Amino acid sequence: MTRTVEIKNMSKRFGPTVALDNVSFEAHGGEILGLIGENGSGKSTATSIFAGMQRCDSGEMLFEGKAWSPVSMTDALNKGVGMIVQESGTVAGISVAENIFLGETKDFRKGLFIDRKRMIEEAQKALDGIGADHIRADAVTGTLDFQDRKLTEIAKVMVKAPRVLVVDETTTALSQKGRDIIYTIMNRMKEEGKTVIFISHDLDEIMEKCDRLTVLRDGKIIRTFEKNEFDPDAIRTSMIGREIEGSYYRADYGEETGKEIVLRAEGLCLGDQLKDLSFELHAGEILGVGGLSHCGMHTLGKVLFGAEKAEKGSFTVKGKAVRNEAEAMRLGIGYVAKDRDTESLCTEASIKDNIAVAGLDRFAVKNFLILPGKEKQYVNEQVQALSIKCRNADQYVSALSGGNKQKVAFGKWTGRRSEILILDCPTRGVDIGVKQAMYRLMDRIRKEGRSVLLISEELAELIGMSDRLLIMKDGRLEKEFKRDPELTEADVIRCMI
Ligand SMILES: Nc1ncnc2c1ncn2[C@@H]1O[C@H](COP(=O)(O)OP(=O)(O)OP(=O)(O)O)[C@@H](O)[C@H]1O
Ligand SMILES: [Mg+2]
């Protein structure tokens, strides 16, 4: 057993926030070490310091037994430490190949020119090598969906054949195919005697994949569990410092939803993403939508919010046609996009501004005269309801941990009492306590007669929360399941593939 990663007495503050408080842990060659802890507990901070993205205030790091102080992420990667970050890590306006070789184009210099053909060939090899051969290296990155951009990042890291790989909360927003690509890479590295540090909020996933598990809470290391000590309750308790009570999902079965149709889609078509899709959403209903990666479900969310236009077909909300985002909002539709950083949030603005922008009609007179006291109260209610970990609501969203950003995106739309909430992967990257709070909020929305369209990659959450569950396949509606305690993930998967 060789110690490849050693972090000793590491501390890091951001102004008054203590992100890491004397943290020490190690990871070995030939193992997958899990890191788990609530949102804002310091997982990304600790690993990103090791991967060269930022510096610690004090402490010591060793890589393969030698002092380690990378000056940048590229420096770390070139020396053998790669990280797949939680946030989006690609540049939209350039090609996939340029992203993969960002800052490395000198390797493809031919005199004064860059040998683009060879760069694209090499990039394609990198993509094929991780099993993402459906992505074209010459495509413009911005035209790819969230998952394919993530896979591009993975290819970028893997071309450097790192000896330590950090995977930060990447899997929950990916489909099974995307996850399998990552798991294959992790297992291969482990077999080759290399080290993987894997961060996830999915306890089942992390217990299955990891050899050891280190728990962080409020910037401190609480405990490391060896494989034979893995026990979900013990891990949860050490994460949150108390026992978590109550069930996760809805417990009711056989409840009637409202009869009133609040949203009706008829014959929606858009390229290969939506093919003649028709369905209805009722008042007081949680309608789940699931499927494989390119089944079209994420596009559906965008279209229903008016952010993308269908080529054919129509949809109406309470009988009225919706043509753009402004109309959608006026008709009471809220939308939490899957890609929160580019579509749901303005990260270079405060929590307050992000939340308030959608709730204007809740505290402004005639929609323009803002009453600062009411605005503050409104924002603080959302911050508390979701326990957003921040100093105060004036803090920039960019300074929040990944899961806390997600809470802001969620609070922005749940706060304004939208009549219809379109949620695309809403619980991505949030810890179990917050997940539970989000599920309760969805349940409350339903009981108040409002409606939720829940688009998700998490089958357990779809089955646990939906009144009805639509499964999409290749842009079409493949099957509809009714809420049923007997319904299993296997039943659902069978009609997805
Ligand atoms: N750039 C920054 N500026 C200010 N505070 C920051 C910054 N980055 C992180 N923090 C704070 O440091 C703490 C630890 O954040 P970190 O991102 O490491 O948490 P995490 O465990 O990765 O959480 P999550 O599960 O939500 O991703 C949080 O309180 C966060 O708000
Ligand atoms: Mg994080």
Q: Which ligand is nearest to the CA of 46?
A: 1
* Ligand 1 midpoint to CA 390 (Å): 9
Residue 253 lies in a domain: no
Element (H, E) at 334: strand 333-336
Q: How many domains does the chain have?
A: 2
Alpha helices in 101-174 (DSSP H): 116-129, 146-158
Task: Indicate whether 252 belongs to any domain.
Answer: no
pLDDT tens digit sequence for 349-382: 999 999 988 777 776 666 666 777 888 888 999 9
For residue range 100-133, what is the model confidence (pLDDT) as tens digits?
998 777 778 877 788 889 999 999 999 999 999 9
**Contact assessment for residue 429 and residue 403, using Cβ atoms and an 8 Å cutoff:** yes
| Closest C-alpha to ligand 1, atom 12 | 19
Q: Find out whether the beta carbon of 402 lies less than 6 Å from any atom of ligand 1.
A: yes
> What percent of the chain has a predicted confidence (pLDDT) above 70?
97
Q: 227 pLDDT band (50/70/90 cuts)?
A: very high
How far CA 304 is from CA of 49, 321, 337, 439, 452, in Å, comes to 40, 11, 11, 22, 12
Ligand 1 pocket: which of 21, 45, 430 to mutate (most atoms within 8 A of CB): 45
Instruction: Check whether residue 136 and residue 225 sit in a common domain.
Output: yes
Helix residue ranges, H only, 251-371: 297-304, 325-330, 351-363
Pocket test for ligand 1, best of 47, 345, 396, 400 (most atoms within 8 A of CB): 400
Give the mean model confidence (pLDDT) for residues 302-307. 93
Rounded distance from Cα 44 to ligand 2 centre (Å): 4
Q: What is the pLDDT of residues 430-486, one digit of tens each?
A: 888 888 888 988 999 999 999 999 999 888 899 999 999 999 999 999 999 999 999
- Closest residue by Cα to residue 82 from 58, 100, 67: 100
Q: How far is the CA of 13 from the centre of ligand 1 (A)?
A: 10
Q: Which ligand is nearest to the CA of 430?
A: 1
CA dist list (Å): 108 to 11, 112, 115, 119: 40, 10, 5, 6
Same domain for 268 and 129: no
Lowest-confidence pick of 19-33, 270-284, 337-351: 337-351
Does residue 459 lie within any of the structural domains?
Answer: yes
Mutate to test the pocket of ligand 1, among 13, 17, 395 (most ligand atoms within 8 A of CB): 17
Q: How far is the CA of 54 from the centre of ligand 2 (A)?
A: 14
Spatial distance between the Cα atoms of 236 and 248, rounded to a whole number of angstroms? 13
Looking at the domain assignment, is residue 250 inside a domain? no
Please name which ligand lies nearest the alpha carbon of 395.
Answer: 1
Q: Which of 240, 272, 293 is where one domain is finished?
A: 240
In this structure, what CATH number is given to the domain that contains residue 50?
3.40.50.300
Distance in angstroms between the alpha carbons of the first and the last residue of the chain: 41
75, 173: one domain: yes
Q: Which atom of ligand 1 is nearest to the CA of 404?
A: 26
Contact call for residues 195 and 166 (beta carbons, < 8 A): no
pLDDT at 185: 96
Give the 3-state secondary structure of residue 191.
helix
The reported pLDDT for the residue numbered 106 is 77
Ligand 1 pocket member 152 (CB < 6 A): no
Nearest C-alpha to atom 7 of ligand 1 is from which residue? 399
- Both tokens of 478, joined, read 């493949």
pLDDT of 173 reads 75
Tell me, yes or no, whether 234 and 268 share the same domain.
Answer: no
Position 430 in a domain: yes
Q: Which two tokens stand for residue 207?
A: 């217990």
Task: Quick: pLDDT tens for 313-323.
Answer: 999 998 898 88
278 located within any domain:
yes
Q: Are residues 196 and 319 in the same domain?
A: no
Reading the block at residue 324, the tokens are 């753009």
| 417 and 356 within one domain | yes
Q: Is 389 in the pocket of ligand 1 (CB under 6 A)?
A: yes
Half-sphere exposure of 282 toward its Cβ, with a 13 Å CA cutoff? 13
Determine if ligand 1 sits within 6 Å of the CB of residue 45.
yes
Counting ligands in written order, the one closest to the CA of 42 is 1
Backbone angle region of 413, left / alpha / beta, with phi > 0 → left and psi within -120 to 50 → alpha: alpha
Same domain, 291 and 149: no
Tokens of 469: 């569950």
Give the position, in ligand 1's atom list, of the atom nearest the Cα of 429: 25
The residue range of the domain holding 175 is 3-240
Q: Are residues 113 and 174 in the same domain?
A: yes
Same domain, 286 and 145: no
* Closest CA relative to residue 222, chosen from 37, 7, 430, 12: 37
> 68-105, pLDDT tens digit by residue?
999 999 999 999 999 999 887 788 899 999 999 987 77
- In this predicted structure, the answer to whether residue 212 has a pLDDT above a threshold of 80 is yes
pLDDT at 28 over 60: yes
Assess if residue 352 is contained within a domain: yes
318 and 227 in a single domain? The answer is no
CA of 361 to the centre of ligand 1 (A): 31
CA-to-CA distance for 317 and 391, rounded, in angstroms? Answer: 39
229-288 pLDDT, tens digit each: 999 988 988 887 766 555 689 989 988 888 899 999 999 999 999 999 999 999 999 999
22-36, 151-165, 167-181, 447-461, range with the lowest pLDDT: 167-181
Same domain, residue pair 214 and 304: no
User: In this structure, are 197 and 297 located in the same domain?
Assistant: no
Domain boundary among 208, 240, 272: 240
Is residue 456 lining ligand 1, measured as CB closer than 6 Å? no
Distance CA 64, CA 75 (A): 16
Sheet with 420-424: strands ordered across:
333-336, 420-424, 451-455, 286-291, 468-473, 476-482
pTM attached to this predicted model: 0.79
Of the bound ligands, which one is closest to the alpha carbon of residue 37?
A: 1
Q: Is 248 domain-assigned? A: no
Per-residue pLDDT band for 208 (boundaries 50, 70, 90) equals: very high
- What is the pLDDT averaged over residues 338-344? 79
